[in-house]
Chain A
Amino acid sequence: MCVLGCCFALFSCSAATMAEPGRQGGAQSFPVSQPKDTNDSITIFITGNELGAMKPCGCSGGQLGGLDRRKAIFNNAGQMNRLIIDTGSLVETDSPQDLIKFNIIVQALGLLDYDLASLSERDSEIAESLGMWDQISSLVNVISAYGSGASGRQKSFTKNLPFKDGTIAVTVAALNTEDMPAGEISELFELQDDYKAVNLLIVDDCDSDIISSVAEMGIVDCLICPSDNDEPEVIDDSQEGFLVFSVGQLGKYVSRLQISEVEGELTYDFSAIPVTEDLPQADSLIQLYKSYQQIVKEENLLEQYPRFVLPDGLEYAGSESCRICHWYECDKWGTKAHAGAYATLEKVGSQYDPECVICHVVGMDYQSGFVSEQETPDLKNVGCENCHGPGSEHNITFGEALTTEPKSSCVDCHTPDHSAEYAGNEEVYLEKIVHWRQNESTDTPAAEN
């Protein structure tokens, strides 16, 4: 809590507001200006819950996010007066691909001049299993509420920032609510006797009991909760001197907490800044993403991708095998965007990334489906068998056996994250792939699928 001299002064959360939601849309651009090193306020940038999202896939316009665009936002605050924190959950799983992402995101935090990373339980386990604790600490200060204390892991971190004519001490602590009751958080924060202090607490659970018991302690100024939402949000600002918020997920927004002084009281201004496409990309982060693509290629993740077995001995046959009978449809399909889906990946160097490739080829979820351009060239692109099902039996029986499941539906790939405009415009999208004779309706995919 804010301590001024030996007297407690009240914090005012009166200005703690979520940026007007209407200002958070993709169209809103964040002004990129020269950093200011004035001591009238301090800025705390908070990100977290990346869950492996390093960059939007770029499959549709208006996507938010990208580690490479964060720097443009951070640079709007002077280096002396800012603190940059990541609250952790860098990746979602411990899959081989997520382990690669973990290394890359950690390196990115270093390149982006983060002051602090608070590692989640999974992050800690990964750091432990990769023997990376010390190495991460060489890039960025690390705290975590998880793991044994034997490795000397810190649970709190303090940085003094110049403020007005003095200093403000910002302490960030991490709490595992199962490990330590919220009522015992005082040991995470050192009371500052001779200058102002702001205490932030990152928690793994945020039910109303936890919020109220943290509030009652009167030590914490800002409680940072986990989030299942993409957008950051103010969860509770009803109590004076106590702000509860979440930082969103998937790196689509950067949360900004601006602290200034009005009539002797500290005030917060909380806002969510969208990481929009028009923000400039940092060169070092672009290069880092290329390194990620290189590693993904070298580790041959495509071949290691876990695959199901098609039912009844079915196999994928490739779109060219359909042409012999369905020449009209194949020719028409060849003029549509689906027929060039793989090339769009090659343009951006993502043709070895399973997370991208799966929506640009045939049958990657199954044995006999796409493995690589060299091994399975006929299964590149979004082909006949994506929607109509594997064709081996249909071909062998000259069409007598109808194609069967598994058949992909449009929304398997046209998700809100990857194809933002699809929902609500299904008919328009369907029109783009018409490759059947318009007066025939057999086996035509339904737009709502």
Chain B
Amino acid sequence: MKRTFEVFVVLMIIGGLVYSAGAQEQPEPPKPAPETKVGSEQAEMPEVVVLGPKIKVENPTHDFGKMGPGSKNKCEFRFKNVGDDVLKISKVTKTCGCTVPQLSKNEYEPGESGTVKVTYSASKRAGAVSKHLYIQSNDKSNPKTTLTIKGEVENKIGIEPKNLKLTLKDENAGCPPITITSLDKKPFSIKKIQSTGNCIVAKFDASEEAEKFVLEPEVSIAKIKKNPQGRIDIDLTHPSTNRVTVSYNLLSRFKVDPPKIIVFNAEPNKPTKKEVWVLNNYGEDFEIESASSEKGIIKILSQEKVDGRYKFELEITPPETKDLRKIFTDELTVRVKDGEKLRVTCRGFYSRKLDTGQAEK
């Protein structure tokens, strides 16, 4: 019996030790999640988690879908204070070019909702759009809540051609008809047509409404010679596109190739050789009267006529400078016998290897 008792005691001790050791190795059983209670019961709770103000946006992304270029699009973001303290919104910032009217109030009680109203003016260029707004508040876990607006700007009006390549050789400068089409089938009228220097005009009936117009432009040769590059703006009554633009370029009589002389990695007094060609775009024979440099940085080494074109061999000698970060410029003027003057600008950038004053490095 005594032995039985001793064995029992030993087992109890071992059991106690094992339990004790086991208890040490076991993770603590999870504590019940603390509850936040109101009223008199709250004082009895050992732990209280304070949420503070907490903003929750119902749907932080708004997809406008297809938008017309330059169209105004509206949406709303609803938010709620799901915390337990007053939510204070300091401001709504944006990188979207949106209109966000001032919020009617800046403080929201727990459980209270509010709305951010957004008007987004779509870009005039077609393509996907994704922009952000930020609600700045005293929600410590999310002080800058992001709102996203997205969509796709889609051209509702098609215009062909978008660029006119005109020549002096062809009748009416070779100007093709311009076709304007409503891609969403909504009829429209033409309100106004204006072109650079009034070089190009086209008849239209402002009272006529249709899904498609084909304009027959008329080119004034005298005017376009003075404005060889420009554009035609066509104002429309289409609900989502109020203007379309066609650019034009008149093929000049002479072409200088390359049209500009650019020298990178230049070194003072270290000459560089360049070739410049002058040719007549219309295949006319021509003579060059003179060629000269404005500042003497460009030196004409030779000038010869090859297959109806003129070839100039030039030597560009970058001038001395105290500041190698500055550029040097010169201009070569070529006079054609009938009086036309062609200007070829020369620009040079000094080599950065020579520039010891790279303060930012």
> Does A375 make an interface contact (CB < 8 A)?
no
Q: With A24-B95, A110-B352, A295-B327 known to touch, is A130 a contact of B262 (CB < 8 Å)?
A: yes
Asked if A22 and B134 make an inter-chain contact with CB atoms under 8 angstroms apart, the answer reads yes
CA distance A284 to B96 in the complex (A): 32
Task: Find out whether the CB atom of B326 lies under 8 angstroms from the CB atom of A287.
Answer: yes
Are B132's CB and A130's CB within 8 A?
Answer: no
A229 at the binding interface (Cβ < 8 Å)? yes
Would you list which residues of chain B between 187 and 212 have a CB under 8 Å from chain A? Answer: 194-198
Q: How far is the CA of A130 from the CA of B153 in the complex (A)?
A: 34
Instruction: Indicate if the CB atoms of A367 and B325 lie closer than 8 Å.
Output: no
CB < 8 Å: which of A110, A136, A138, A415 contacts B97?
A: A415
Contact B196 A306 (CB under 8 A): yes
| A132 CA to B258 CA, complexed, in Å | 9
Inter-subunit contact A308/B134 (CB<8 Å): no
| Contact B95–A228 (Cβ < 8 Å) | no
Q: Does A15 reach chain B (CB closer than 8 Å)?
A: no
Task: Name A284's contact: one of B94, B100, B134, B360 (CB within 8 Å).
Answer: B360
B143, closest chain A residue (CB): A22
The yes or no answer to B1 lying at the interface (CB within 8 A) is no
Q: How far is B262's CA from A169's CA once the two chains are assembled, in angstroms?
A: 34
Separation of A216 and B205 alpha carbons in the complex (Å)? 55
Q: Are A306 and B121 in contact (CB under 8 A)?
A: no
A149 in the interface, Cβ–Cβ < 8 Å?
no
Residues of B within 8 A of A416 (CB): 96-97, 121
Query: Would you call A107 an interface residue if the criterion is a C-beta within 8 Å of the partner chain's C-beta atoms?
Result: yes
> If A135-B262, A309-B197, A309-B198 touch, does A25 touch B93 (CB 8 Å cutoff)?
yes
Give the shortest distance, in Å, between B119 (CB) and chain A (any CB): 8
Residue in A21, A132, A138, A282 with the greatest tally of chain B CB atoms within 10 Å: A21
Interface footprint category on B: 35 or more
- A306 and B197 contact, CB distance less than 8 A: yes
A295 touching B347 by the CB < 8 A rule? Answer: yes
The answer to whether the Cβ of A443 comes within 8 Å of any Cβ in the partner chain is no
Which of A110, A132, A233 lies in contact with B130, CB distance below 8 A? Answer: A233
Stretch at the interface among A254-262, A324-332, A417-425: A417-425
Q: Which of B254-294 contact A (CB under 8 A)?
A: 257-260, 262-265
Asked whether B352 lies within 8 Å of A424 as measured between CB atoms, the reply is: no
List the A side residues contacting B359 at CB < 8 Å.
283
Chain A residues near B264 (CB, 8 Å)? 106-107, 110, 135-136, 138-139
Could you tell me if B265 and A139 are in contact, using CB atoms closer than 8 angstroms?
Answer: yes
Chain B interface main SS type: strand
Bound-complex Cα distance A424 to B266 (A) = 50
Q: Which single residue of chain B is at the shortest CB-CB distance from A106?
A: B264
Other-chain residue from A136, A227, A291, A307 in contact with B197 (beta carbon distance below 8 A): A307
Give B70-106 as 1s and 0s: 1 = Cβ < 8 Å from A's Cβ atoms: 0000000000000000000000011111111110000
Asked if A71 is an interface residue, CB under 8 A from chain B, the answer is yes
B241 on the A face (CB < 8 A): no
CB distance from A178 to the nearest CB of B (A): 18
- Roughly how many angstroms separate A416 CA and B259 CA in the complex, as a whole number? 36
* A26 interface hit (Cβ, 8 Å): yes
The answer to the question of B148 belonging to the interface, with a C-beta cut-off of 8 Å to chain A, is yes
| Mask of B217-261 contacts with A, CB within 8 angstroms, 1/0 | 000000000010111010000000000000000000000011110
C-alpha gap A299/B343 in the complex (Å): 10
Quick one: which of A249-279 are within 8 Å of B by CB?
none
Contact status of A132 and B262, CB under 8 A, knowing A309-B198, A423-B97: yes
B146 close to A (CB within 8 Å): yes
* A99 interfacial by beta-carbon distance below 8 Å: yes
Q: Judge if A33 is at the interface, Cβ distance under 8 Å.
A: no
Contact of A280 among B131, B153, B360 (CB under 8 A): B360
In the assembled complex, 13 residue pairs joining A and B whose CB atoms fall closer than 8 Å, in A order, are A21-B132, A22-B132, A103-B260, A129-B259, A130-B260, A131-B257, A135-B265, A229-B130, A287-B326, A416-B96, A423-B99, A423-B100, A424-B100
Interface set of B (CB-CB < 8 Å, partner A): 93-102, 119, 121, 123, 125-132, 134, 144-146, 148, 153, 194-198, 227, 229-231, 233, 257-260, 262-265, 323, 325-327, 329, 345, 347, 349, 352, 355, 357-360
Given A22-B132, A103-B262, A229-B130, output 19 extra A-B contacts at Cβ < 8 Å.
A21-B132, A21-B134, A99-B260, A129-B258, A130-B259, A135-B262, A228-B123, A228-B126, A228-B153, A284-B355, A288-B325, A291-B349, A295-B329, A311-B194, A367-B197, A411-B121, A423-B98, A423-B100, A424-B94
10 residue pairs, one from A and one from B, having the closest CB atoms: A416-B97, A228-B127, A131-B258, A287-B325, A22-B144, A282-B360, A306-B230, A306-B196, A309-B198, A291-B327
